[in-house]
Chain A
Amino acid sequence: EDQVTQSPEALRLQEGESSSLNCSYTVSGLRGLFWYRQDPGKGPEFLFTLYSAGEEKEKERLKATLTKKESFLHITAPKPEDSATYLCAVQAGETSGSRLTFGEGTQLTVNP
């Protein structure tokens, strides 16, 4: 059974204070690891898909990295508008269709 564990559950940062969110996963044959941002009361917003260990992707102040067991979402010099819940999800091999298995998310708060 595919499993995704995110840590920490909640993180408070001061504006400009860089940090990382962790996503540990267990999956039989990783097809892709997804990161989403979710604002309160809204649907998840797609950020990145990573495919293989060693891969990195960047978008503004966010950089996602992938190893064989976990992914990190690095936030550099965050701003208050980066406050949101960040969700990690895995997609297993082709026999599982394109179902995403999500973690419970990390709630990030950036104080001005």
Chain B
Amino acid sequence: EAEVAQSPRYKITEKSQAVAFWCDPISGHATLYWYRQILGQGPELLVQFQDESVVDDSQLPKDRFSAERLKGVDSTLKIQPAELGDSAMYLCASSQHWNTIYFGEGSWLTVV
């Protein structure tokens, strides 16, 4: 069964450093999402791509977060500089149709 691949699974970084997460969606899925999940809460959307275009980044803290999906396949989410409050799980998801959205295993970020 095809899966959404994410790396790294775990990342510890110091405050003010840069960090990046990578996502490879399920083959053929045009829509890609990045969500952030703080422990004990539900995921919240950061950015949504349709192919290589951003269709929703209204909740993305653009002063420090950036996301790209240059060729409309895999994607990178970057945080620079990282802050203590950025500690969370970063989830990538993809979909072929709006009604079935599959999530990856997530990337855990701890900022110290």
Contact = CB atoms under 8 A, between A and B. Distances in A.
B55 A97 contact: yes
Contacts of B98: 31-32, 91, 98
B42 A104 contact: yes
Contacts of B55: 97
Contact of A98 (B6, B42, B95): B95
Contacts of B42: 4, 87, 89, 102-105
B103 A97 contact: no
Contact of A44 (B31, B99, B103): B103
Interface string A41-59: 1111110010100000000
Interface stretch (B12-20, B43-51, B62-70, B79-87): B43-51
A43 B101 contact: no
Interface in B32-46: 35, 40-45
Interface of A: 4, 31-32, 34, 36, 41-46, 49, 51, 87, 89, 91, 97-100, 102-105
B44 A42 contact: no
Contacts of B44: 102
Interface residues of B, number: 26
Contact of A102 (B6, B43, B102, B104): B43
B100 A46 contact: yes
Given A41-B106, A43-B93, A46-B102, 8 more contacts: A32-B99, A43-B103, A43-B104, A43-B105, A46-B101, A89-B42, A98-B101, A99-B45
Nearest to A89: B42
Contact of B99 (A49, A102, A103): A49
Given A31-B98, A43-B91, A49-B99, A100 B104 contact: no
B106 A42 contact: yes
Nearest to B31: A98
